Chains A and B, each alone.
Chain A
Amino acid sequence: MQNPAIEYDYTVAKWFSYLAILFGILGMGIGVWIAFELAFPELNYVAGEYSLFSRLRPIHTNTVAFGFTLSGIFATWYYVGQRVLKVSMAESKFLMAVGKLHFWLYFLGALLAVGSLLVRYTTSKEYAQFEWPFDIVVVLVWVLWGISIFGLIGIRREKTLYISLWYYIATFLGVAMLYLFNNMEVPTYLITGMGDPLHSVSMYAGTNDAMVQWWYGHNAVAFVFTVPIIAMIYYYLPKESGQPVYSYKLSLLSFWGLMFVYLWAGGHHLIYSTVPDWMQTMGSVFSIILILPSWGSALNMLLTMKGEWGQLKENPLIKFMVLASTFYMLSTLEGPIQSIKSVNALAHFTDWIPGHVHDGTLGWVGFMIIAAIMHMAPRFYKREIYSKKLLEMQFWLQTTGIVLYFSSMWIAGITQGMMWRAVDQYGNLAYSFIDTVTVLHPYYTLRGIGGLFYFLGLFMWAYNFYKTMTASKAIEKEPQFASPMAA
């Protein structure tokens, strides 16, 4: 039908995949390091002031969220986008150029921004630490991505947009809105002509700043860690398993549900703070409602495998994706539970919160991106996946890591929360603060080990990917469904 000479062009998708692996190793390596710093404080000093916990923590979160995850999102967009629109990037020189520019600007911006955090430039707002010049770079990168999305849609052959694209579009819009509003800041140098040119001051003060920040912070999780990952799983799981989505109608319905409900739930970060009561309650209630659309998507994924569960045994990529949706269900249940006011009173400010975050990020986001990139590898290079056995080992090692991580953080968080409020028979506080710190040592150690397992798994992934690229057996044509693997 079409000119047979045209093929999908994976150049940009490949580049972003390399970057996802690179940032994954970098970001999670720092994560493991600072996890051990909490258990063994001497580790803080290995690189002088540059390895202090407080310096590295924002670098960890930003590298993982905006390095690893965004690279994964972009890589899959430049792959899935072409395929479900049935149009190749090679057909438009303009879009190809935009894609490449997008990559280089993103890479350069990421390096500069991370570097700026290392030398103490930060606005202190979580997941929005970058100072204003880097924010501008982020906006430019985002605009380029938007051009790429809507440009490719503009030249499509498929009239209807596949559900994954809905989620990519929502990611684009959601992050754009949130990022712009939360990073409203006034560069002090431009107003006064003195001081550090990179310094800025937030447009909002106090409680208002907190509201905007957690409206952003919570929904950055929505639009970076949830929505685009759902976009991925709606493409890769059906494709790898050869089964169409269980119910396409349900996927549409949960899309609108998620879009509407998610944004209201930000208030659950501010329960018992000084924001108005009605907002706290709203955050709490909507967090519970959020279970519905979240589980709608997750069950839809699991039911896609209906009657095909044999594949779970055969295919490690299916394992990764099925466990990812399971972790998605776990963390979308855990989150609402933590949003209930009485539970939040105990859980807030404790290690249960990072525990919850890592269920989602390691289990759901990490596994999905790993699976997506390994699914693409044989299609990128027209070679088999180098080793199925290694992939299996990676799966089990990383799963063990996640279990160690969240179980230790559950115990740590609840222990700490209980000790903070414990009183003796006269009604006096039973423990001084330091008691509640030293008691966590074994759990911090265990968490570090869990993180280390996951981190080692990343190297197996990187090695497997590299070998697939260079040394694996060539295949004649692109596999339709399950990715071919050498034992």
Chain B
Amino acid sequence: MDTRLIQGVAYLGLIIFLTFILYGYIIHLYRSEKKGKRNYEKYGKMALDDELSSPPVEPLEENEKESK
């Protein structure tokens, strides 16, 4: 039954750890937006404005250099 106990403890530990990760992620999402570091909602535009000729929401650096 020892393995069962280890399994149980590991499982509980995992759940707690993941809860932290989950809430950490939510906080991360909102905080980085509040601080103005990133704006997640602008990524929604990627689907709407998707012509080949329209400028990327966040271009790759190499491309930026090329176009300069």
Contacts and interface: CB of A to CB of B under 8 A. Distances in A.
A and B in direct contact, judged by CB atoms within 8 A: yes
Interface of A: 1-2, 4, 6-8, 83-84, 86-88, 156-160, 162-164, 234-235, 238-239, 242, 244-245, 247-249, 252-253, 256-257, 260, 478, 481
A300 to B, nearest CB: 11
Contacts of B53: 1-2, 4
A244 B56 contact: no
A256 B52 CA distance: 30
A234 B50 CA distance: 14
B60 A244 contact: no
B52 A159 contact: no
B44 A253 contact: no
Contact of B58 (A160, A242, A245): A160
B30 interface: yes
A164 B50 CA distance: 13
A276 to B, nearest CB: 10
B5 to A, nearest CB: 13
A238 B63 CA distance: 27
A158 B48 contact: no
Interface in B38-68: 40-41, 43-48, 50-61, 63, 67
24 contacts: A1-B55, A2-B53, A6-B52, A84-B47, A84-B50, A158-B56, A158-B58, A158-B60, A159-B56, A159-B58, A160-B43, A160-B58, A162-B46, A238-B44, A242-B48, A244-B48, A247-B41, A248-B40, A249-B30, A249-B40, A249-B41, A253-B26, A260-B18, A481-B48
Contacts of B22: 256-257
B44 A252 contact: no
Contact of B46 (A7, A84, A257): A84
Given A1-B67, A157-B60, A160-B58, A239 B50 contact: yes
Contacts of A244: 41, 44-45, 47-48
A249 B27 CA distance: 11
A478 B46 CA distance: 17
A244 B46 CA distance: 9
B46 A2 contact: no
Contacts of A157: 56, 59-60, 63
Contacts of B46: 84, 158, 160, 162
Nearest to B21: A256
B29 interface: yes
Nearest to A247: B41
A159 B28 CA distance: 20
Contact of B52 (A7, A164, A481): A7
B36 to A, nearest CB: 15
* Interface size class, chain B: 20 to 34
B65 to A, nearest CB: 13
A238 B45 CA distance: 9
A2 B43 contact: no
A156 B56 CA distance: 10
A235 B48 CA distance: 8
B25 interface: yes
Contacts of A242: 48
B53 to A, nearest CB: 6
Contacts of A239: 47-48, 50
Nearest to B67: A1
B55 to A, nearest CB: 7
A86 B50 contact: yes
Nearest to B42: A248
A2 B52 contact: yes
B2 to A, nearest CB: 15
A252 B28 CA distance: 12
Nearest to B50: A83
A59 B58 CA distance: 45
Given A157-B60, A158-B57, A253-B29, A245 B44 contact: yes
Nearest to A83: B50
A234 B47 CA distance: 8
A273 B45 CA distance: 48
Contacts of A481: 48
Given A1-B67, A235-B47, A239-B48, 5 more contacts: A158-B57, A160-B43, A160-B57, A253-B25, A481-B48
B28 to A, nearest CB: 10
